[in-house]
Amino acid sequence: MGPVHLRIEATSARARAGVLSTPHGDVPTPLFMPVGTAATVKGVDIGRVAETGAGMVLANTYHLHLRPGEAIVAAAGGLARFMGWRGPTLTDSGGFQVFSLARQVRVTDAGAVFRSHVDGRAIDLTPEEAVRIQEALGADIIMQLDHVIALPADRGAVADAMRRSLRWAERCRAAKRRADQALFGIVQGGLDADLRAESAARLRDLDLPGYAVGGLSVGEGPEAMRTTLAATVPHLPPDRPRYLMGVGKPADIVAAVAAGIDMFDCVLPTRCGRNALAFTFHGEIRLRNARHTRDEQPIEEDCPCAACRHGRGYLRHLFQAGEMLGPILLSIHNLTFYQRLVARLRGAIVADRFAVEHDRLLSLLEPGAAGDATTAR
C-alpha cells in the first residue's frame, strides 16, 4: 500500500464517505482543501484555517517556484513546516496557472514555455521539472503536469491537449523519485464524454494512487460540469481517491459528491469573503446590502466561526469603513461553511440518507434558490 490511500467506510447511491490516509495524518472524506496558493490562505493565518475544521490544504507549484523558490521551502523543512501547517498538503502542478496567468505561452509535447507574470522571466516547465519542484516542496500529494485549455473549444484541440496530458502523466510517473509522496493523474477531455472516457482509461492503466478530474470550472457552466462528471467518474478506479480540481460553488460540491467525488479545492470561500459575500445553508448573504445596516443577527445562528460572534450590521460596517477585519472574518466564515458542508454530506452518506439531503441542499444552495438570507433561523 502506498503513502496515500483511501478507505471507503460508507456509500449512499454513488456518494462515498471514507478516510484519506497520508504520511501527515488522516482526513475524513468528502474533504475540502482551502487554497493556500503561495503557502498562505489569503487573509487567514494558518491557526485559524485549522479552526475552520480543515484537514488538508493546497498550495501551488507555479507560484512557489516563482516566489520564494522551492529550494527555500525545502530548506525550511518542506511545505507544511514552512507554512506552519501540521496536517497533509497537496500541490497543484501549475498547469492551470500557466493557462490562466502566464504570458507568451507556447505549449509543445516537450512542455510549456512561458514568461512569468511576476517579473517576465522565461520559464520552461516540463513534466519532469514539475515533479522535481513538487518533490522539493514536499507535499503529501503531487499532481501531474497537464495541458489546460479554455472551454468551449474545438474537439480537435481538446483531444490534442488531453492526449498530451496523458503523455505528460507517463513522464511524471517516470520522473518521480520520492516514495513518501503520491502522484495523482488528471483526467482531461473537455465536455466530450468519449475523450473523458479515453483519458480515464489510459490513466487507469498507469495504476496511480489517485485521480483528479481537471479542465472544468473554466467557463463551461454547472450543468455541463455535472454531465461531464457523470460521464467520467464511472471510468475511475473505485478504490482510489477522486479529486475534482478547482470546484467550486457549494451546489457544485453537493452535485459532485453525488457523482462519487471525494476531494475538492476552490478559492471561492476567501475570494467571496474579501468581497463581502457570505455562504450559508439558507443562501448567500451580500453584506454590502443596506438592509443589513441595523441587523444584529449573526450570519448563521449555529455557525461556530469568529465572524458569527458579531452581528451582520457590524460586519457590514467593517466593509463600508474599509477595515481589513471585515474580509478576514468573512473569509473565516466561508471556510468554516465549506467544512460544515462536507461534514454534513459525509453524515448523510454514513446515515444512507444522501439522496434526501442532496435534494434539500440543492434547493437551498443553487444560485437564486434562496436569495439573500435575511430572516432569523
Chunked into runs of 10 residues, the chain (377 residues) has average pLDDT values of: 96 98 98 97 98 98 95 98 98 83 84 86 92 98 94 93 98 98 98 97 98 86 92 97 95 97 98 98 97 98 98 98 98 98 98 98 80 46
What is the predicted pLDDT for the residue at 374?
46
Long-range pairs for 361-365: beta carbons < 8 A, 24 or more residues apart: 361/250, 361/251, 361/254, 361/281, 362/251, 362/254, 362/255, 364/281, 364/282, 364/283, 365/249, 365/250, 365/251, 365/254, 365/281, 365/283
C-alpha span between 364 and 371 (Å, rounded): 9
HEC string of 258-303 equals HCCCCEEEECHHHHHHHCCEEEEECEEEECCCHHHCCCCCCCCCCC
DSSP code per residue over 308-358: GGS-HHHHHHHHHTT-THHHHHHHHHHHHHHHHHHHHHHHHHHTT-HHHHH
Could you list the active site residues? 92, 265
Work out the angle between the directed axes of helices 155-175 and 127-137 (0-180°, nearest 10): 50
Residues pairing with 16 in the sheet? 11
Q: Report all structural domains of the chain as residue ranges with CATH numbers, in order of start.
A: 5-266 (3.20.20.105), 273-365 (no CATH)
Q: Which of 141, 352, 350, 365 is nearest to 253 (CA)?
A: 365
Cell numbers describing residue 280: 450559508
Contact 17, 33 (CB under 8 A): no
C-alpha triplet 213, 219, 220: angle, nearest 5°: 65
What is the predicted pLDDT for the residue at 371?
52
Cα 184 to chain centroid, rounded: 14
Alpha-carbon dihedral sign for residues 226, 228, 234, 239: negative
Cell numbers describing residue 288: 454590502
Tell me: the pLDDT tens digits for 145-204? 999 888 888 999 999 999 999 999 999 999 999 999 999 999 999 999 999 999 999 999
Q: pTM of whole model > 0.85?
A: yes
What is the predicted pLDDT for the residue at 120?
85
Contact 307, 315 (CB under 8 A): yes
Contacts (Cβ under 8 Å, ≥6 apart) of 317 = none
C-alpha span between 124 and 229 (Å, rounded): 32
Tell me: the pLDDT tens digits for 213-252? 998 877 778 899 999 999 999 999 999 999 999 998 999 9
- Kind of pairing between the strands at 57-60 and 89-92: parallel
DSSP code per residue over 75-91: HTTSHHHHHT--S-EEE
Q: Which of 314, 340, 341, 349 is nearest to 329 (CA)?
A: 314
